[in-house]
Amino acid sequence: MAHFPNTLAFSGILKPLRFEGDILDMELEGVIPPELNGTFHRVHPDQQFAPKFDNDQFFNGDGLIAQFRFRGGKVDFKQRYAQTDKFKLERAAGRALFGAYRNPATDDPSVQGRIRGTANTNAYVHGGKLLALKEDSPALVMDPLTLATHGYTDWGGTCHSQTFTAHPKTDPVTGNLVAFSYASKGLLTRDCTYMEISPAGKLVREVWFEAPYYCMMHDFGVTEDYAVFHIVPSTSTWDRLRAGLPHFGFDTKLPVYLGLLPRQGDAKDMKWFKHPNLFCSHVMNAFNDGSKVYFDTPVARNNMFPFFPDIDGAPYKPEEAKSYMTRWTVDYNSRGEDFEKVEKLTSLMGEFPRIDDRYATRNHRYGWLLVMDPTLPFNGPGARASGLRMNHLGFMDLHTGRQSTWFCGPDCLIQEPCFVPRSKQAPEGAGYVVALIDNVVLNYSELGVFDAQAIENGPIGRAKLPFRLRQGLHGNWTDASDLPGWQQSLGGL
């Protein structure tokens, strides 16, 4: 009998969805630009079965992947689970076999040693393959059009890391997938890798290095010449796992580090810079001008994740979890190990930053993100554990300082935006932004399509679902010309 816990992670607006399906020709409102041909994939964690433990958390859910297929002004929808090894083992058993988030000691003996990945954090197309990603496991390969799962990849047998980041980037010059891994030689190890994978799916570069301490390395920065690693103390130990505590705990006593690895260099060329304790996770973009490296990230004074609590027992402080886009500057050739500059870029409180990905590694002009204004009314049920609600889409022009927002209204929340260029040749920022808007009162979601330069006007078009998707993590746009089999696929679902 399915029994989901009556906790914040599983009730109210976070009830799991647990279904797959297709909609040919979604109901539309407004205009879906007919020049948009391609797919928007996104993922949310969604436990296939009731969890083994009532204190299970959102980040432990199975990856449920949605595809919005744009074709000449029409939109189709398809949703499938990522068929991870975990998913298939549990489906065969008819119940949850894997236990707590990143704690294999809590698993059923029948699955000891199996890959625990949930593929629940990012859905990313590279070289015509859809990668369903979870940072504790290898990359899972899926078909971007049918959403059929092929399985985990080691990039042709050449990749020896046990894990693969959920936040790879694509180098706009080489087309290489630029990635990293942590806990690469096993749970809690400080071993990391830097990787580049060619568009044909071959590992063409692998550099092993050690992090200053084990922590959640959720994202990184890539510039033309450097890979940039931020070390922020969401840490863990075997003692925590043995005690049954949440895998990560935040340690306010540890400093933050920023590691610079020359992309053509080796581990011995790495330099580590130091900053007093703070919290940040996602990276909007990074770029370099000679040896000067710029790294844009939403920074908060303290832990943003109440479910990975303070290791010394301090209560979660929503006031200190407010994050603001910040630019860090470090000089690879400088003598000191200190940051050169820390500059707050905006007064908008926000997270989930994105750019026009064609400008990854370069000095980007435009950014989009989710903005939180907790003073505005909210009609939805329940509260988020963090108390922070993503209720605006935000836009930043970093050259002129212009910024704008669109409030999704008191009945709605909004999910991570994704920039879609008007065409492959369009200049930076010329195009659209797509973002899921979830009405938590009427319980339906719609994919909003915004003019990327005028988001404050609200969506110019909406593709409407007859139900609500669960809060998700990350998603990406892929042009039809980068999807093998696109033409043939249009005949059906």
User: Which residues lie near ligand V55 (CB under 6 A)?
Assistant: 45, 59, 120-121, 135, 216, 218, 281, 473
Cβ nearer to ligand V55, comparing 232 with 330? 232
Residue 84: both structure tokens together: 């991870």
Residue 219 Cβ, how far from ligand V55 at the closest point, in Å?
8
Residue 111 Cβ, how far from ligand V55 at the closest point, in Å?
19
Residue 190 Cβ, how far from ligand V55 at the closest point, in Å?
17
Size (the chain), residues: 493
Answer yes or no: are the C-beta atoms of 149 and 142 closer than 8 Å.
yes
Cβ nearer to ligand V55, comparing 60 with 67? 60
222/210 Cα distance (integer angstroms): 18
Cβ nearer to ligand V55, comparing 67 with 281? 281
Cβ nearer to ligand V55, comparing 42 with 218? 218
Residue 106, helix vs strand vs coil: helix
Cβ nearer to ligand V55, comparing 146 with 386? 386
Give the ranges where 150-244 is alpha helix by DSSP (H): 238-242
Residue 234 Cβ, how far from ligand V55 at the closest point, in Å?
8
Answer yes or no: are the C-beta atoms of 29 and 465 closer than 8 Å.
no
Cβ nearer to ligand V55, comparing 233 with 461? 233
255/51 Cα distance (integer angstroms): 35
Residue 146, helix vs strand vs coil: coil
Alpha carbon of residue 266 to chain centroid: 27
Residue 45 Cβ, how far from ligand V55 at the closest point, in Å?
5
Residue 105 Cβ, how far from ligand V55 at the closest point, in Å?
18
**Residue of 445, 359, 350 whose CA lies nearest to 406:** 350
Residue 279, helix vs strand vs coil: strand
Q: How far is the CA of 102 from the CAs of 46, 59, 81, 88, in angstroms? A: 16, 10, 20, 18
304/307 Cα distance (integer angstroms): 9
Cβ nearer to ligand V55, comparing 189 with 363? 189
Residue 351 Cβ, how far from ligand V55 at the closest point, in Å?
9
Cβ nearer to ligand V55, comparing 228 with 449? 228
Cβ nearer to ligand V55, comparing 121 with 153? 121
Residue 120 Cβ, how far from ligand V55 at the closest point, in Å?
5
Residue 14 Cβ, how far from ligand V55 at the closest point, in Å?
13
Residue 449 Cβ, how far from ligand V55 at the closest point, in Å?
25
Helix (H) or strand (E) holding 91: helix 85-93
Residue 313: both structure tokens together: 């027992």
Annotate 369-415 with DSSP letters as a single string.
EEE--TTS---SSS--TT-----EEEEEETTT--EEEEE--TTEEE-
Cβ nearer to ligand V55, comparing 69 with 247? 247
Answer yes or no: are the C-beta atoms of 25 and 92 closer than 8 Å.
no
151: left (phi over 0), alpha (psi -120 to 50) or beta: left
Residue with the shortest CB distance to ligand V55? 59
